[in-house]
Chains A and B, each alone.
Chain A
Amino acid sequence: MEQIIFYLLALIMIVMAIASVSSRKMLRSVVYLLFGLIGVAGVYFLIDYNFLAAVQLTVYAGGIVVLIIFSVLLVHHMEMEMETAKKSKQILTGLSCLIGLGVFLTIMYSHEFTVVENTLTTTTAEIGMGLLSYDAGGFILPFEVISVLLLASMIGAIVIAKGVKLENEGKETVGNPQTRIENSQETEDEN
């Protein structure tokens, strides 16, 4: 049963990923990505990392994708078709990616992994404890660092997007500063 679900998920993820990097419609591309990300969350559910799956859904599907959709809506005319790269470049890149994939898979399959049989389930409490423990194996320091990282990127995003008086009067001002500030705060809250 789980096997079938996994294959189904894998199929969905790959198809969606391909669709999202080849679709010529901006918004569709983002929506395909959304499904791909949900597929990842599905994999997390399958291996019993429920918390991680939840994070994946809320932050990725709920935060990042929404952010990207916002930006698509703000900057892009939806009907417009995107330009694509030259066919030759596409084929060349595709081929080299396939070769790279081949190399990866050959190396991975030739490597003996010692799989440890386990049915451990990880609770959210454990993760929370790990995040806040400062003993060996604890992750308090990265936790602190990432808070600085989020602060910095929030400040950066605000400063960049903060409305400056446009030199060219003719151009429309897209998006008011308020939206972006909220967006950035959103990302911080997700942590």
Chain B
Amino acid sequence: MSLNSFLLMRQEILLLAILLLLIVGEIFIPKNKKSSVVHLALFLFGIHTAVGFLGIEESSVFGGMFQTNNLIHFFKNALNIGVLVLLLQSADWIQEKIVQKNKGTEFFILLFSSLLGMYFMISAGDFLMFYLGLELATLPVAALAAYETSKRISSEAGIKFILSAGFASGIALFGISLLYATTGSIYFNEVMEVIISNNLTILAFILFFTGLAFKISLVPFHFWTADVYEGSPISVASYLSVISKGAAVFILMILLFTVLKPLMHVWENIIYVIAIATMTIGNLFALRQKNMKRFLAYSSIAQAGFILLGLIAGTQLGAATVVYFVLIYIFSNLAAFGVVQAISLKTGKENIDDYNGLYRTNPKLSLVMMLGLFSLAGIPPVAGFFGKFFLFTAAASQGYYFLVFIAVVNATISLYYYLLVIRAMFIRNSNTPIPYFRNKIYMRLGLLITAIGILVLGLYSPLYDYIYELTGIFG
């Protein structure tokens, strides 16, 4: 161990320090001032996010168990920003509902340890670290999903999540064990050298992929998603759909493009089928939803299908578009969830019909929502358009024109249900609209950041070029 390796693991160590600091804080903050823990956590995490922007060297430590490079570091920063925005958006909810029950600090501890798990997962240099990171990223979220202990639906979400996640990682583990049998190592770099395509390896890969497909909620492993999103507190649903999914996609991409690259002829076929199924089924179910959280759940399933279009390319272009899209997706989905959260907190309303006439009472919220939904739908000039266009380009670059065609048809279907929400907000009128309210500062800040992100990420091209440069490692 040297100072250098500490520097490499800066993000992890800093987050762990914040975690411990919060535990200590929990002991020393007097009971009547518990709400200050929200400010403390936000402040600390803000610093952590800012510090993350300092550069990092490419290297690996602990005998290759932990590796990092600029792309991974960049993605950690993206996750940080996502979590920061999420915390800003849910600060009021935590103040009002969670701190009151004296569970505020634990909320942050669980959230941060889950984020820590994601760090380890995407920095993993072997399957063990990957597995542990995955579990560390998942288990605390199950606790968070069940956080509203007095609500039955919340507990159900928690148990459904933890059982499906356990099942998924069990299957993935069996796959890893078979992969270990054929390659003799759990280290990525060693596996990469010896992996060859034979039946057992393919079986191992399919099992392993199944496990990850659960996390990204790809069809046919998506059935838990809507229930869990609906039951969980909105911040947790948002976290699941944005941060969790983003990290899982990222690690899947890294694995597919490096370790499992020799199996490309296998996985491109699998992804082809799953991409079509995921987009189509996600869309078809989203069409029928009345509840905003379920609606966003299915919409995020469909979005995952689009992401696969970048993965199928298997090139640097594919990697760049995937990372770029995930980044945009984080902002877009956070905008949508943020508005849902703001409204739910003030009025408790979560159905699409409740949004009727929202623009006339709360124009700013509606505009943020519109930006988010347009970005998800891929309407220019907001960022989602660029993200989707590039994903399609990546798939087309390998000649998958038919897949792109299916995807654009699906994009049009998805536009339909996004427009349903926009119709409710802008066109419909309601006798009992959601009255005007003014959000608190944190929420406003959180929504503002997402709105700016959605507007800027697409038009500001150097960002994409930077990502493209970073993905040069997949050359």
A and B touch in the complex (CB under 8 A): yes
Interface, chain A (partner B; CB < 8 A): 103-104, 107-108, 110-111, 113, 134-142, 145-146, 148-149, 151-153, 155-160, 162, 164, 166-167
Known contacts A159-B103, A159-B147: does B62 contact A134 (CB below 8 Å)?
Answer: yes
Interface residues on B, range: 35 or more
17 further A-B contacts with Cβ under 8 Å, apart from A111-B182, A159-B110, are A107-B199, A107-B200, A111-B198, A134-B1, A136-B64, A138-B63, A141-B65, A142-B128, A149-B135, A152-B114, A155-B143, A156-B143, A158-B106, A159-B103, A159-B147, A160-B149, A162-B149
What CA separation (Å) do A136 and B5 show in the bound complex? 14
Interface, chain B (partner A; CB < 8 A): 1, 16, 19, 62-66, 101, 103, 106, 109-110, 113-114, 116-117, 120, 128-129, 132-133, 135-136, 139-140, 142-144, 146-147, 149-150, 155, 158, 181-182, 198-200, 203
Q: Is the CB of B109 within 8 A of A137?
A: no
A104 proximity list for chain B (CB < 8 A): 203
Q: Is the CB of B106 within 8 A of A155?
A: yes
* Chain A residue at minimal CB-CB distance from B199: A107
* A96 nearest CB across to chain B (Å): 13
What CA separation (Å) do A134 and B60 show in the bound complex? 12
* Chain B residue at minimal CB-CB distance from A138: B63
B113 proximity list for chain A (CB < 8 A): 148-149, 151-152
Known contacts A110-B199, A145-B120: does B109 contact A152 (CB below 8 Å)?
Answer: yes
Q: Is the CB of B116 within 8 A of A148?
A: yes
* Chain A residue at minimal CB-CB distance from B182: A111
What CA separation (Å) do A166 and B418 show in the bound complex? 39
Known contacts A141-B62, A149-B132, A153-B140: does B158 contact A160 (CB below 8 Å)?
Answer: yes
* Chain B residue at minimal CB-CB distance from A143: B132
What CA separation (Å) do A162 and B103 show in the bound complex? 10
Which single member of B63, B65, B106, B128 contacts A159 (CB below 8 Å)? B106
* Chain B residue at minimal CB-CB distance from A163: B149
Which single member of A110, A113, A157 contacts B181 (CB below 8 Å)? A113
Q: Is the CB of A155 within 8 A of B200?
A: no
What CA separation (Å) do A170 and B117 show in the bound complex? 41
Interface centre among A110, A111, A162 (most CB of B within 10 A): A111
Known contacts A137-B63, A142-B65, A160-B146: does B203 contact A107 (CB below 8 Å)?
Answer: yes
* A79 nearest CB across to chain B (Å): 24
* Chain B residue at minimal CB-CB distance from A149: B136
* A160 nearest CB across to chain B (Å): 5
Interface centre among A110, A140, A155 (most CB of B within 10 A): A155
* B20 nearest CB across to chain A (Å): 10
What CA separation (Å) do A88 and B203 show in the bound complex? 28
* Chain A residue at minimal CB-CB distance from B142: A156
* B27 nearest CB across to chain A (Å): 13
A111 proximity list for chain B (CB < 8 A): 182, 198-200
Which single member of A108, A139, A160 contacts B143 (CB below 8 Å)? A160
* Chain B residue at minimal CB-CB distance from A166: B150
Q: Is the CB of B139 within 8 A of A136?
A: no
Q: Is the CB of A149 within 8 A of B139?
A: yes
A–B Cβ pairs within 8 angstroms, 27 of them: A110-B199, A111-B182, A111-B199, A136-B64, A137-B63, A138-B62, A138-B63, A139-B65, A145-B120, A145-B132, A145-B136, A148-B16, A148-B116, A149-B113, A149-B139, A152-B140, A152-B143, A155-B110, A156-B106, A156-B110, A156-B140, A156-B142, A156-B144, A159-B106, A160-B158, A162-B103, A164-B149
B147 proximity list for chain A (CB < 8 A): 159-160
A148 proximity list for chain B (CB < 8 A): 16, 19, 113, 116, 136
B199 proximity list for chain A (CB < 8 A): 107, 110-111
* Chain A residue at minimal CB-CB distance from B198: A111
What CA separation (Å) do A73 and B198 show in the bound complex? 48
* Chain A residue at minimal CB-CB distance from B201: A111
Interface centre among A103, A107, A113, A140 (most CB of B within 10 A): A107
